[in-house]
Amino acid sequence: QASPSARSFQLDYEHNCFRKDGAPFRYISGSIHYARVPRPAWRDRLLKMYMSGLSTVQVYVPWNYHETLPGVYDFTGNRDVEAFLDLTAELGLLVILRPGPYICAEWEMGGLPAWLLWKPDINLRTSDPAYLAAVDSWLHILLPKIKPRLYQQGGNIISVQVENEYGSDYACDYGYLRHLLGSFRALLGSEVLLFTTDSTQAEELRCGTLQGLYATVDFGPGSNVTEAFGAQRRVEPKGPLVNSEYYTGWLDYWGEAHASTSATWVARGLEDMLQMGASINMQYMFHGGTNFAYWSGADYKDQYKPVTTSYDYDAPLSEAGDPTEKLFAIRTVISKFQPLPAGPMPPATPKYAYGWVALQKYADLLDVLHVLCPSGPIQSQFPLTFEAVKQIHGFMVYHTQLPWDIPDPVKLGAPPHSICDRGYVMLQKEYQGTLERDGQTTLHVTGRAGDNLDILLENMGRISFGANTSDFKGLLGNLSLNSRPLSNWLIYPLAIDTAVQQGWPHTALPKSSSEGRVGPAFYTGTFETPGIAWDTFVKFPGWSKGLLWINGFNLGRYWTRRGPQQTLFVPGSVLHVGHPNNITVLELEGAPPTPLLLFLDRPLYNRTL
């Protein structure tokens, strides 16, 4: 390796290429999101990417994954981005870093922290001083960790993206991009190559590019490669051709068919671009991974479209990190242009079908509010949003009482777009049904004055792309009975993960639990591994919708009833060997009469809808 003083990574406008240490250079890269891969699997995934013939990996940094509350930072364990970057260097990979502050990535709120919405009138991704102050404070924490890892400093980061597809944002605020450019230069120095990425549409390239940032484009297989790079040439007449996001697959939304993209098609497009001398990053995705816990985002395309827990993406490396036919097709194309590393591709990780596990009902959710909300409820005349009570993820319960007798069914309803995102309605602890954003917003109920009305509100993930408004969660408007607003609410922000991570629920069943009742309830069970902790997939036969924790680790949402995803990926690293594994399920709508889970050695992504 060149000494730091001689190391350089630059644009050559005369010969339309990159120059690395003075020599012409072209990268073939793939994207991996460390936040979607458990830390024990990082090396396996990166090694497989290296053995595929990639010289480079592209990496997003999700701001909200690290600054969990204002001024509270987490770079430990799965969030240790420095350890991840050091591992890329150890394996001989270069890095293209995309630190945002906005990243999209179908990630909760596009990587922006939900606590920004505690100031309800904030204008995200603009020159709004409140937004810029938060961004600057974050960049002053993050970028000093990055600077010593830049190529010019002896590290392996060759370029850094500023913002992300900013041209697709309505604001088109050049002042914001200029501010970011100034901050990145001040914190990273004058030598690092800074760039932008936008679609090939003229309007998006107009708003997303800025002098001083090298403009690159993104497009997928099936595009006319000459035309697509022609769009880049209109904003960058000279310099290397770069596709920063070549789509190898596509994402899944709940309630739609599993997406797939032909390996032949992907390989053909890749070869066409490589023949033109272009640099390419295969994103979205080379390895997708999993939206554990509450990290999946949502798109807005005429309606709210939440993203599945699996982020398999039909990518060359599967959700579990296994090489696919698509990976070998890509590797064959790469071998025509540069030598592949010596040695075999590492094999698929071993999987184990642990079989059937019986669970038992532990308690209805409403019977354990004292555990899930130990500080007690917040009183309010009218409903408050998640943001108003500083709840980031998960669930809140809204409780009130019927103000008068209702002998005949009347309409319990919410104004349009005010259920964000699903509301599970209980009257006298009996489940009545579900209200849903962009779906059913009324139910008919009967009851007596003083009857308890509870709505469990679920946040399904904040919009990461497609809407230009802040995505507040909870009850955004007042519920009404026969058009008369309900008031006097008790609001319980639930800290379910805190309780589960501390070992709750403990084994004894509370006496109050009602066995047959449907609606939100917790189920528990245990299973032992036969001396091995291998990756596995859980199926939920007859279950409806909910969340799964194993040994306190939140594996994300299942939604068997809606699909297409039918299994959740369980990394072997969360399992114990030699003592029982504790399972906790929160089922929201109704478990089967005999609550069983089935552990398989393969995923089921595509239920026929």
String of DSSP letters for 310-335: B--TT-SB-TT--B-HHHHHHHHHHH
pLDDT in tens, 465-483: 987 779 999 999 999 999 9
Residue 39 is predicted with a pLDDT of 98
15-24, 204-213, 272-281, 465-474: range with lowest mean pLDDT: 465-474
- Looking at the structure, tell me whether residues 389 and 406 fall in a common domain: yes
**Residue 320: CB partners within 8 Å, gap ≥ 6?**
348, 349, 351, 535, 569, 603
| 2 in any annotated domain | no
- Looking at the structure, tell me whether residues 396 and 415 fall in a common domain: yes
The amino acid sitting at 58 is: Q
Residue 52 is predicted with a pLDDT of 98
- Looking at the structure, tell me whether residues 240 and 328 fall in a common domain: yes
φ, ψ (nearest 5 deg) of residue 111: 90, -15
Residue 107 is predicted with a pLDDT of 98
pLDDT in tens, 182-196: 999 999 999 999 999
Higher pLDDT, 203 or 2: 203
- Looking at the structure, tell me whether residues 554 and 572 fall in a common domain: yes
pLDDT in tens, 100-137: 999 999 999 999 999 999 999 999 999 999 999 999 99
Residue 608 is predicted with a pLDDT of 45
Residue 467 is predicted with a pLDDT of 77
- Looking at the structure, tell me whether residues 236 and 269 fall in a common domain: yes
pLDDT in tens, 84-109: 999 999 999 999 999 999 999 999 99
Q: Which domain holds residue 409?
A: 375-494
Q: Could you give the CA distance from residue 50 to residue 53 in angstroms, rounded to a whole number?
A: 6
Tell me which residue has tokens 């890509």: 330
| 270 in any annotated domain | yes
Residue 586 has pLDDT above 50, yes or no: yes
What does the angle CA 306 – CA 160 – CA 322 come to, to the nearest 5 degrees? 55
Task: Give the mean model confidence (pLDDT) for residues 52-74.
Answer: 98
Task: Give the chain's domain count.
Answer: 3
Kindly state the helix (H) or strand (E) to which residue 523 belongs, with its residue range.
strand 521-527
Q: Is residue 165 annotated as part of the catalytic site, yes or no?
A: yes
Residue 535 is predicted with a pLDDT of 98
Q: Is residue 436 annotated as part of the catalytic site, yes or no?
A: no
| 344 in any annotated domain | no
| 73 in any annotated domain | yes
Strand extents, DSSP E, 199-291: 214-218, 242-246, 279-287
Active-site choice (165, 236, 319, 589)? 165
- Residue ending a domain, choose from 451, 466, 494: 494
Q: Helix, strand, or coil here: 245?
A: strand
| 394 in any annotated domain | yes
Res. 3 pLDDT band, cuts 50 70 90: low
- Closest residue by Cα to residue 489 from 373, 390, 398: 398
Find the CATH number of the domain harbouring 142: 3.20.20.80
pLDDT in tens, 28-38: 999 999 999 99
What does the angle CA 67 – CA 73 – CA 75 come to, to the nearest 5 degrees? 105
Number of residues assigned to the chain: 609
- Looking at the structure, tell me whether residues 463 and 380 fall in a common domain: yes
- Residue ending a domain, choose from 494, 515, 531: 494
- Residue ending a domain, choose from 494, 513, 528: 494
Residue 513 is predicted with a pLDDT of 53
**Residue 516: CB partners within 8 Å, gap ≥ 6?**
none
The answer to whether 419 touches 475, Cβ cutoff 8 Å, is: yes
Query: Average pLDDT, whole number, for the chain?
Result: 96
- Looking at the structure, tell me whether residues 169 and 36 fall in a common domain: yes
Active-site choice (204, 236, 245, 319)? 245
| 557 in any annotated domain | yes
Residue 395 has pLDDT above 80, yes or no: yes
- Looking at the structure, tell me whether residues 473 and 573 fall in a common domain: no
Q: Helix, strand, or coil here: 578?
A: coil
> Does a cis peptide bond (omega within 30 degrees of 0) precede residue 505?
yes
The first and second tokens of residue 82, run together, are: 């420095």
Whether the CA torsion 316, 322, 324, 329 is positive or negative: it is positive
| DSSP assignment of 91-132 | TT-EEEEE--S---TTBGGGG--GGGGGSTT--TTSS-HHHH
pLDDT in tens, 151-175: 999 999 999 999 999 999 999 999 9
| 293 in any annotated domain | yes
| 350 in any annotated domain | no
Whether the CA torsion 590, 596, 597, 601 is positive or negative: it is negative
Residue 237 has pLDDT above 90, yes or no: yes
- Looking at the structure, tell me whether residues 482 and 574 fall in a common domain: no
- Looking at the structure, tell me whether residues 69 and 200 fall in a common domain: yes
**Residue 48: CB partners within 8 Å, gap ≥ 6?**
287, 317, 321, 323, 327, 345, 346
pLDDT in tens, 298-311: 999 999 999 999 99
Find the CATH number of the domain harbouring 486: 2.60.120.260
**Residue 424: CB partners within 8 Å, gap ≥ 6?**
431, 434, 455, 456, 458, 519, 520, 588, 589
Residue 114 is predicted with a pLDDT of 98
Residue 606 is predicted with a pLDDT of 80
The amino acid sitting at 433 is: G
Residue 160 is predicted with a pLDDT of 99
Q: Could you give the CA distance from residue 164 to residue 424 in angstroms, rounded to a whole number?
A: 36
The answer to whether 602 touches 351, Cβ cutoff 8 Å, is: yes
Q: Could you give the CA distance from residue 146 to residue 62 in angstroms, rounded to a whole number?
A: 14
The answer to whether 194 touches 162, Cβ cutoff 8 Å, is: yes
Res. 609 pLDDT band, cuts 50 70 90: very low
Q: Could you give the CA distance from residue 496 to residue 535 in angstroms, rounded to a whole number?
A: 25
- Looking at the structure, tell me whether residues 69 and 155 fall in a common domain: yes
Residue 2 is predicted with a pLDDT of 52
Residue 4 has pLDDT above 90, yes or no: no
Residue 6 is predicted with a pLDDT of 87
- Looking at the structure, tell me whether residues 446 and 326 fall in a common domain: no
Residue 282 has pLDDT above 50, yes or no: yes
